[in-house]
C-alpha cells in the first residue's frame, strides 16, 4: 500500500506524527504555553502539559483543539510547525511533503477546512484529509477494501468515532463529543460531590489511567488523589477504589454505548451480520480503560477487541493510506 510522506493524528489530547521510512517519530500532548503579552511560545507538548494549572497569569496554557476540531488556528499552526520540523530533521529527501491528516468523522466542512489550512501553512505540498475511524481501520490491518463489513470504535481525547467500513469507505458513522476528556471531568465531578475535594485535571487523568474502570474488576485497586478540601480550604488527600470509578464514569460510558447501538441500528443488515462474526475493534486511549471491551460485548452481544496498537492505530493508518482522491481536499 502506498504511503504518505507524513501522517498526522491531530488529536484533542495528543499529536502523533508518522514519517515514511521511520515510523512514528512524534507523540506529544496537544498543549501549548505562551506569553500572553509577547505571544512568544514558551513550551509545546509534554513540557507545556506540565504547566497546566500551575502557570502564572502572564502565561497561558492552552489546548488549541477542542472536541476534535481546531479552536485556535494560529496556535494549532505553530504547534504543528514545531512538531513537523522536529519530525523532518533527519529526512533525507528535500522539498514539501505530502501529508495525510486525520479528522473526526462528524466535523463540518468549515471545521475540516480549518484543519487542512493549518497543515498547509506548515509547508505541505498536498494535504489529504482522512476520517479517523477509517484511518484506525487501516492502522489495525483491517482490509477496508473487502466487501465484508467491519466496525471500528475510536475513543480519543475529545471525540469518540464509530464507523462501519466496507468496500474502501465508511458506510455508516457517527462522531460524538464524548471521550477521554469527559472521563476526566466525570472524575473531578464525582470526587467533588462525594468527598468535597477539588482536584485538578491532571490529577483526574492520572487516577483514570491508574485505576479507571467501566466494568467490575476481579481485584481491588486503589489510588490516592490530593487536592483542596472545599470545606476547610486546606490540602487533603483521599483514597478511592477502582469500582468507584465505574459509578463516576457512568454518564460518558452510557453515551458511548448508546452511540454504538445507534450505528448498529442503522447499518445495513448484511454488514451487521458480518460484524457479528468479525467483531468490533476498539482503538484510542479510551479503549484501554479496564473493561471497555467486556462491557461493549455484554451490551451488544458482539465480540469486542482492543487493538494491539490502540494508541497508534490512527496515525499508522494515516501513514499507510492510499492516495484516494475523495479523501483529498487539496491540490498539488
| pLDDT above 70: residue 51 | yes
Contact 191, 211 (CB under 8 A): no
Point out which residues pair with 44 in neighbouring strands. 32
For the chain, give the mean pLDDT: 90
Q: What is the pLDDT of residue 136?
A: 94
Q: What value does the mean pLDDT take over residues 90-113?
A: 79
Contact 137, 144 (CB under 8 A): yes
Q: What is the pLDDT of residue 94?
A: 54
| pLDDT above 80: residue 1 | no
Q: What value does the mean pLDDT take over residues 159-177?
A: 92
| pLDDT above 70: residue 127 | yes
Of the candidates 157, 155, 239, the residue with the CA atom closest to the CA atom of residue 199: 239
Q: What is the pLDDT of residue 91?
A: 59
Contact 128, 115 (CB under 8 A): no
Contact 96, 125 (CB under 8 A): yes
- Render pLDDT for 300-316 as a digit per residue (tens, 0 to 9): 999 999 999 999 999 99
Q: What is the pLDDT of residue 21?
A: 85
What CA–CA distance (Å, rounded) separates 23 from 319? Answer: 8
Q: What is the pLDDT of residue 321?
A: 78
What CA–CA distance (Å, rounded) separates 310 from 113? Answer: 27
Per DSSP, the three-state class of 318 is helix
Backbone angles phi, psi at 118, to 5 degrees: -60, -40
How distant, in Å, are the alpha carbons of 92, 161, 189 from that of 246? 49, 22, 13
Sign of torsion, CA 285 291 296 297?
Answer: positive
Rg of the chain's alpha carbons, rounded to an integer? 20
Secondary structure letter of residue 219 according to DSSP: S
Q: What is the pLDDT of residue 278?
A: 94
Q: What is the pLDDT of residue 287?
A: 96
pLDDT band at residue 323, thresholds of 50, 70 and 90? very low
What CA–CA distance (Å, rounded) separates 29 from 15? Answer: 6
pLDDT band at residue 71, thresholds of 50, 70 and 90? confident
Which are the contacts of 76, defined by CB distance < 8 A and separation ≥ 6?
Answer: 10, 64, 65, 70, 118
Q: What is the pLDDT of residue 165?
A: 94
Angle at 294 between CA 291 and CA 299, to 5 degrees: 120
The full set of domains in the chain, from first to last, is: 6-30+68-135+314-327 (3.30.420.40), 149-178+253-311 (3.30.420.40), 180-248 (3.90.640.10)
Per DSSP, the three-state class of 48 is helix
Cβ atoms < 10 Å from Cβ of 58: 11
What CA–CA distance (Å, rounded) separates 268 from 187? Answer: 37
Per DSSP, the three-state class of 59 is strand
Least confident range of 48-57, 186-195, 285-294 = 48-57
Q: What is the pLDDT of residue 93?
A: 57
Per DSSP, the three-state class of 76 is helix
More confident position, 319 or 246: 246
| pLDDT above 70: residue 327 | no
- Render pLDDT for 270-283 as a digit per residue (tens, 0 to 9): 999 999 999 999 99
Q: What is the pLDDT of residue 331?
A: 42
Most confident of 45-59, 74-88, 133-147, 184-198: 184-198
Q: What is the pLDDT of residue 329?
A: 45
Q: What value does the mean pLDDT take over residues 58-83?
A: 88
Question: Is the whole-model pTM more than 0.85?
Answer: yes
Of the candidates 40, 43, 21, 23, the residue with the CA atom closest to the CA atom of residue 32: 43
| pLDDT above 80: residue 328 | no
Point out which residues pair with 62 in neighbouring strands. 32
Q: What is the dihedral of CA 280, 286, 257, 216, to 10 degrees?
A: 100
Most confident of 155-159, 216-220, 295-299: 295-299
| pLDDT above 50: residue 30 | yes
Q: What value does the mean pLDDT take over residues 10-14?
A: 90
- Render pLDDT for 172-189 as a digit per residue (tens, 0 to 9): 999 999 999 999 999 999
Of the candidates 133, 135, 128, 181, the residue with the CA atom closest to the CA atom of residue 153: 133
Cβ atoms < 10 Å from Cβ of 310: 22
- Render pLDDT for 239-277 as a digit per residue (tens, 0 to 9): 999 999 999 999 999 999 999 999 999 999 999 999 999
Amino acid at each position: 500500500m502506498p504511503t504518505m510522506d507524513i501522517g498526522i493524528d491531530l488529536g484533542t489530547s495528543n499529536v502523533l506524527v508518522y514519517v515514511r521510512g521511520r515510523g512514528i517519530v512524534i507523540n506529544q500532548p496537544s498543549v501549548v504555553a505562551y506569553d500572553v503579552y509577547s505571544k512568544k511560545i514558551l513550551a509545546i507538548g509534554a513540557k507545556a502539559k506540565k504547566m497546566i494549572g500551575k502557570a502564572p497569569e502572564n502565561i497561558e496554557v492552552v489546548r488549541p483543539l477542542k472536541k476534535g476540531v481546531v479552536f485556535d488556528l494560529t496556535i494549532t499552526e505553530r504547534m504543528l510547525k514545531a512538531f513537523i520540523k522536529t519530525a523532518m530533521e533527519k529526512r533525507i529527501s528535500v522539498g514539501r511533503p505530502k501529508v495525510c491528516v486525520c479528522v473526526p468523522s462528524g466535523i463540518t466542512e468549515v471545521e475540516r477546512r480549518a484543519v487542512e489550512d493549518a497543515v498547509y501553512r506548515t509547508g505541505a505540498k498536498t494535504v489529504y484529509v482522512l476520517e479517523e475511524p477509517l484511518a484506525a481501520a487501516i492502522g489495525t490491518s483491517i482490509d477496508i477494501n473487502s466487501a465484508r463489513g467491519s466496525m471500528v470504535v475510536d475513543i480519543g481525547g475529545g471525540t469518540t468515532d464509530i464507523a462501519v467500513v466496507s468496500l474502501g469507505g465508511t458506510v455508516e458513522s457517527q462522531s460524538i463529543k464524548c471521550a477521554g476528556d469527559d472521563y476526566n471531568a466525570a472524575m473531578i465531578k464525582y470526587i467533588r460531590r462525594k468527598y468535597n475535594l477539588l482536584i485538578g485535571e491532571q490529577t483526574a487523568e492520572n487516577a483514570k489511567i491508574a485505576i479507571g474502570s467501566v466494568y467490575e474488576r476481579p481485584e481491588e485497586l486503589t489510588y490516592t488523589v490530593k487536592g483542596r478540601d472545599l470545606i476547610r480550604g486546606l490540602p487533603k488527600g483521599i483514597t478511592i477504589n477502582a469500582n468507584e470509578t465505574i459509578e463516576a464514569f457512568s454518564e460518558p460510558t452510557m453515551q458511548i454505548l448508546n452511540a454504538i447501538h445507534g450505528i448498529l441500528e442503522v447499518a445495513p443488515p448484511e454488514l451487521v451480520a458480518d460484524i457479528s462474526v468479525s467483531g468490533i475493534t476498539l482503538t484510542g486511549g479510551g479503549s484501554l480503560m479496564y473493561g471497555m471491551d467486556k462491557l461493549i460485548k455484554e451490551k451488544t452481544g458482539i465480540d469486542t477487541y482492543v487493538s494491539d496498537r490502540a494508541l497508534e492505530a490512527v496515525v499508522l493508518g494515516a501513514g499507510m493510506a492510499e492516495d484516494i482522491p475523495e479523501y483529498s481536499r487539496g491540490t498539488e
